[in-house]
Amino acid sequence: MAKPKILVVDDNTDICFMLSSYLKREGFETEEAYSGRSALKLLENYQFDLVFCDYRLPDIEGEDLFKEIKKRQPEAQVVIITAYADVKTAIRCMKMGALDYVTKPIHHQEVLLLVKQALNTKTSNKKNSVSKSKETTKYVWGPSPQSKKLIKNIDLVAPTDMTVIIQGESGTGKEYVANSIHEKSDRKDKPFIAIDCGSLAEELAGSELFGHVKGAFTGAVNEKTGQFEIAKGGTLFLDEIGNLSYENQVKLLRVLQERKVRKVGGTKDIDIDVRLIVATNEDLQEAVENGDFREDIYHRLNEFMIRIDPLRNRPDDIDVYIDYFLDGANKALGKEVKKIDEITLGKLRSYFWHGNLRELKNVIKRAVLLANGNTITMECVPEEIVFGSTFSKAPNGNGGTVSGPIKDLKSVVEEAEKNAIMLVLQETSFNKSKAADRLDIDRKTLYNKMKQYNLIGN
C-alpha cells in the first residue's frame, strides 16, 4: 500500500526541514518547496494527499497559491501555516476549502493530529461525505439568549420540509445547525450530505452536485452520480451557497422548481426527493442587490432564515465551549489539563474571536498541548490574545460591552469607530446599504472601513 504523500511549502528552510523530517519518521513520503512557483512545479509531477502551505511566501500570495493547489489537485487537503497575527487570513482560506491552519511555532503532536484528520477527511470524501444521525457529533448549546433563540428556531423548522438559509460568520457552526435540523426531522434516518461550495472548482461544481454522463467533458471517463441523487430521501447541505456560479445557480433554481436534476451532458431528467439547507457568511439579499446572486433563487431558498450570532456577541456561551473543547483536546492529546487560570480565562472571554468557535477550538487544543501541568496559563495562549485583539467597548449582544485594554488615543478612536460600525451592522442584520444610511456615509466608505477593521471576510 502506497504511503500518503505530503508537500511542505515554506520559504523558511528550517521549518521545511523540521516538518519534512518529522513526517518521514512517522512513515509519510514528503517533498519540500521553498516558494510558490516551486510548489506548483511539484504539483505537476506528483500527486499529494496533503499540503502544508505557508501563508506568506515571497513570490505568490497565500490565497492565490491555495486556489492553484485546489485547482490542480482538488482532492488534496491543505493546511495553512501562519503566524497567529494572520489567523484571520488563514480563516479566509478555510472558507475556500482549506482543512485547517497551524500557527508558528509548530509542534509535532499538533501536526500529526492534522495529518490524521486530513487523511480521514479524504477517505470520508471518497464515500460521498454521507453521514447519518447515529454517526453525528454531540451538540453543545450555550445559555445565552441568542443560543436559546437558535434552538427554538431549529425546533420550529426541523419537522417541516422548508428550505432553510443559515447565515453566520465563518466558524460559527452552520453545519452543526444544519445537521441538528436534519436529526430532528422525519428524514433523520436518511443521508445528511454536506457540500462546501467554496471549495468546488467552478467547472466541476455542476458535476459534483448534479452528476455527469460519460464523455460529458474532458476527463469524464465514467458516469458520475451527483450529490442530489446520493442524498435521496435525506438532507443536502450546501455551505457557502453564494460561491455558486451563475450557471449553476440557474441549474439549482430548476431543481427547486421542478424537483428534478439533469446530469451534465445528459438528456434525461431524474426525480429527486431532498430537503435543502444552505448556508452563507455574507448577506445574500445584498448580493442580490449587487447582482452577484439571482433574486429568483434567493426567494426560492429563503423559506426560513436562521441567523447565528458571532461568538463575541454571546459572552455567556464562551465558558461552555471552553469546557467542551478542553475535554475534547484532552482526549485527543492524551492529557489531563483540568482548568484555566483566572487571568487567562479573562483574556479568552474578552477576545474578539474573528474565527468564532473554530478559532476557540484551535486555541484551546494548542493550549492543552503546551500546558506543562494540569492548568492552562498565559504562556499557553497566543500573544495575539494576551496583548492585542481584545476590544475596549465591543458590543456583547445583550446591550452591554466586553471590556479590554486601552493603549493610546488613536487606538481608542479607531476602536470606537469600529464598534459603532459593528453595532449598526448588527442592528441592520448586516445590510450595508441600511448601515451606511444610519452612519451617514456612502457604501464605499463603509466598505473601506469594514475592510480596514477586518469586519468583512471573517
Closest CA to 352 of 296, 392, 304: 392
Which domain, by its residues, includes 109? Answer: 5-126
In this structure, the answer to whether residues 303 and 320 fall within a common structural domain is: no
In this structure, the answer to whether residues 254 and 205 fall within a common structural domain is: yes
CA distances for 371 relative to 260, 320, 333, 379, 409, angstroms: 54, 20, 11, 8, 36
Q: Residue length, the chain?
A: 458
Return the pLDDT at 458: 40
Residue 291, in any domain of the structure: yes
Return the pLDDT at 126: 47
Return the pLDDT at 95: 66
In this structure, the answer to whether residues 94 and 200 fall within a common structural domain is: no
Residue 251, in any domain of the structure: yes
Last residue within a domain, chosen from 82, 103, 126: 126
Last residue within a domain, chosen from 279, 307, 335: 307
Our count of domains for the chain comes to: 4
In this structure, the answer to whether residues 100 and 59 fall within a common structural domain is: yes
Last residue within a domain, chosen from 388, 416, 437: 388
- Cell representation of residue 139: 451538540
Distance separating alpha carbons of residues 128 and 105, to the nearest angstrom: 35
Residue 397, in any domain of the structure: no
- List, for residues 422-453, the tens digit of each pLDDT value: 888 877 767 788 888 888 787 778 888 887 87
Distance separating alpha carbons of residues 311 and 317, to the nearest angstrom: 8
* Bond prior to 105 in cis (omega within 30° of 0): yes
- The one-letter code for the residue type at 327 is D
Distance separating alpha carbons of residues 177 and 308, to the nearest angstrom: 9
In this structure, the answer to whether residues 237 and 268 fall within a common structural domain is: yes
Exposed (0-12), middle (13-18) or buried (19+): which is 328, by Cβ within 10 Å? middle
Are 52 and 19 in contact by the 8 Å Cβ rule? The answer is: yes
Residue 211, in any domain of the structure: yes
Are 363 and 382 in contact by the 8 Å Cβ rule? The answer is: yes
Are 203 and 267 in contact by the 8 Å Cβ rule? The answer is: no
Provide the CATH number for the domain around residue 364: 1.10.8.60
Residue 73, in any domain of the structure: yes
Provide the CATH number for the domain around residue 436: 1.10.10
In this structure, the answer to whether residues 226 and 282 fall within a common structural domain is: yes
- Cell representation of residue 108: 509535532
In the block, which residue shows the cell 443521508?
A: 191
Return the pLDDT at 411: 64
Return the pLDDT at 408: 54
Residue 294, in any domain of the structure: yes
The structure's pTM equals 0.69
In this structure, the answer to whether residues 301 and 184 fall within a common structural domain is: yes
In this structure, the answer to whether residues 170 and 255 fall within a common structural domain is: yes
In this structure, the answer to whether residues 269 and 161 fall within a common structural domain is: yes
Are 115 and 29 in contact by the 8 Å Cβ rule? The answer is: no
Residue 216, in any domain of the structure: yes
Q: What is the pLDDT along the chain (458 residues), one digit of tens a residue?
A: 578 999 999 999 988 999 999 999 999 999 999 999 999 999 999 999 999 999 888 898 877 888 889 888 888 999 988 876 566 667 767 767 788 888 887 888 788 888 987 887 655 554 444 444 334 446 789 999 999 999 999 999 999 999 999 999 888 999 999 999 999 999 999 999 999 887 777 777 888 899 989 888 877 778 889 999 999 999 999 998 988 888 889 889 989 999 999 998 988 999 999 999 999 988 888 889 888 899 999 999 999 999 999 998 999 999 999 999 999 999 988 899 999 999 999 999 989 888 899 889 989 998 998 899 999 999 999 877 887 554 434 444 444 444 444 455 566 677 778 878 888 887 776 778 888 888 878 777 888 888 787 776 44
In this structure, the answer to whether residues 134 and 237 fall within a common structural domain is: yes
Q: What is the 3-state secondary structure (H, E, C) of the chain?
A: CCCCEEEEECCCHHHHHHHHHHHHHCCCEEEEECCHHHHHHHHHHCCCCEEEEECECCCCEHHHHHHHHHHHCCCCEEEEEECHHHHHHHHHHHHCCCCEEEECCCCHHHHHHHHHHHHHHHHHHHCCCEECHHHCCCCCCCCCHHHHHHHHHHHHHCCCCCCEEEECCCCCCHHHHHHHHHHCCCCCCCCEEEEEHHHCCHHHHHHHHHEECCCCCCCCCCCEECHHHHCCCCEEEEECHHHCCHHHHHHHHHHHHHCEEECECCCCEEECCCEEEEEECCCHHHHHHCCCCCHHHHHHHCCEEEECCCHHHCHHHHHHHHHHHHHHHHHHHCCCCCEECHHHHHHHHHECCCCHHHHHHHHHHHHHHHCCCCEECHHHCCHHHHHHCECCCEECCCCCEECCCCCCHHHHHHHHHHHHHHHHHHHCCCCHHHHHHHHCCCHHHHHHHHHHCCCCCC
Residue 401, in any domain of the structure: no
Provide the CATH number for the domain around residue 158: 3.40.50.300
- Cell representation of residue 453: 477593521
In this structure, the answer to whether residues 71 and 211 fall within a common structural domain is: no
In this structure, the answer to whether residues 59 and 145 fall within a common structural domain is: no
In the block, which residue shows the cell 435540523?
A: 181
